Amino acid sequence: MRRWDNRAWLGVLPVVLIVAFSAVVPLMTVVNYSVQDIFDLNNRLFVGFEWYRDTLRDPRFLEALLRQLGFSALVLAIEIPLGILVARNLPRRGASAGVWLVVLAIPLLIPWNVVGTIWQMFARPDIGLLGAGVNALGLDFNFTADPVDAWIVLLMMDVWHWTSLVALLAYAGLAAIPEPYYQAAELDGAGRWQVFRHVELPGLKPVLLIAGLLRLMDSLMIYTEPFVLTGGGPGSSTTFLSQHLTTMAVGQFDLGPAAAFSVLYFLVILLLCWLFYTAVMRSEDVEGGPGGH
């Protein structure tokens, strides 16, 4: 067991200070902004919860929220199973393992706006391989004009971009399962599905918590890729929360409303991630470290 020793706080202190500087101070500032009407910093008016009320009753906020939740749910539903499948097929050892990892890691290392650019070039009906190819098949496909097409391209892009992360983490989880477990399952005559269900899935749980949480958090804050690819359009069909917020904050410089929007946005993410974290941690019944793994 880990020993009780409050001096361990000394080890954590640098992290606490740096995160307090880069997170707590700005977050308090956002809360301060959200209750005021700010013309400039010397000229501001306390308005209480007005901006919150406005935002919560603003159909654009609610639509962006719904779109966001739908997008995140779809992304998780595709990427987690696909990532596990890919990980199961990766070789465990040898030189080829390293090469596969590098190949898989490539999409993760591309700047997000470049990801958007790549997919724009790839999917455009005039110059893109995908867009022109699909049109050549006789289907009418244009993601800049049709909301459904835009969603399809966005989902394809996100799967392309992030499934590798799930795959890499799942690969790590699979590698940690001792070989005797498989042999025992084989002796019992377990089929492929049963091996997966009773040997691999339990072993994968801790890394799937990390993968799921990371994908949930990141998909909830997606901004750059759709900004480059679709610009939130056509219409506002791919405008997610971050995009809406950035337009308010930088485009229109509405400090108060943007801040209220930020606080609500953060609360939604906090609630979802806390529920996810608690649900998985509870089913796992924490052994050992604070991360539960």
Partner 1 sequence: MGTEAKRRQPRWLLYGYCLYLALPIYWLATMALQSNQDIVGDLEIVPSRLTLANFAEIVGNPVWYSAFGHSLSYVILNTLISVTVALPAAYAFSRYRFVGDKHLFFWLLTNRMAPPAVFLLPFFQLYSAIGLFDTPLAVALAHCLFTVPLAVWILEGFMSGVPRSLDEMARIDGHGLGYFFFRLFLPNIRGGIAVTVFFCFMFSWVELLLARTLTGSETKPIVVVMTRTVSASGLDWGVLAAAGLLTILPGVAVVWFVRRDLVKGFALGRV
Partner 2 sequence: MAWMAWTWPTAAFFLCVALALAVLTVLELKVPTVQRRGWLPLATTRGDRFFISLLAAAFVHVSWLAFLDAPVYWATGLAVLLGAGLMRWG
Judged by CB under 8 A, which of 11, 48, 235, 251 binds partner 1? 11
139 binds partner 1 (CB under 8 A): no
Q: How far is CA 65 from CA 33, 205, 221, 223, 275, in A?
A: 22, 29, 11, 13, 18
CB-based contacts of 189: which residues, under 8 Å, 6+ apart? none
Judged by CB under 8 A, which of 168, 208, 229, 260 binds partner 1? 168
Angle 142-147-150 (CA atoms, 0-180°, nearest 5)? 60
For residue 100, which of 176, 167, 178, 200 has the smallest C-alpha distance?
167
3-state secondary structure 27-70: HHHHHHHHCEEEEECCEEEECCCHHHHHHHCCHHHHHHHHHHHH
139's contact among partner 2, partner 1, none, with CB below 5 to 8 A by partner kind, is none
Specify the residue for token string 């209750």: 35
Judged by CB under 8 A, which of 8, 23, 56, 184 binds partner 2? 56
Judged by CB under 8 A, which of 7, 57, 93, 192 binds partner 2? 57
Please, which of residues 11-40 interact with partner 2 by CB under 8 A?
Answer: 25, 28-29, 31-33, 35-36, 38
Q: CA torsion 213→216→218→224, rounded to 10°?
A: 170
Q: Residues 147, 185: contact at Cβ < 8 Å?
A: no
Least distance (Å) from partner 1 to the CB of residue 53? 19
208 binds partner 1 (CB under 8 A): no
Cα separation of 255 and 34, whole Å? Answer: 7
Compose the 73-112 pattern: x for residues touching partner 2 by CB under 8 A, - for all others.
----------------------------------------
Cα separation of 115 and 179, whole Å? Answer: 38
40's contact among partner 2, partner 1, none, with CB below 5 to 8 A by partner kind, is none
* Dihedral pair phi/psi, residue 46, rounded to 5°: -75, 125
For residues 82 and 273, which CB has a smaller minimum distance to partner 2 in the complex?
A: 273
Least distance (Å) from partner 2 to the CB of residue 177? 28
For residues 70 and 91, which CB has a smaller minimum distance to partner 1 in the complex?
A: 91
Least distance (Å) from partner 2 to the CB of residue 75? 25
155's contact among partner 1, partner 2, none, with CB below 5 to 8 A by partner kind, is none
117 binds partner 1 (CB under 8 A): yes
The DSSP bridge partners found for residue 43 are 40
127 binds partner 1 (CB under 8 A): yes
Return the structure tokens found at 167: 């795959």
- Interacting residues with partner 2 (CB under 8 A): 25, 28-29, 31-33, 35-36, 38, 41, 44, 46, 48-49, 52-53, 56-57, 264, 267, 270-271, 274, 278, 282
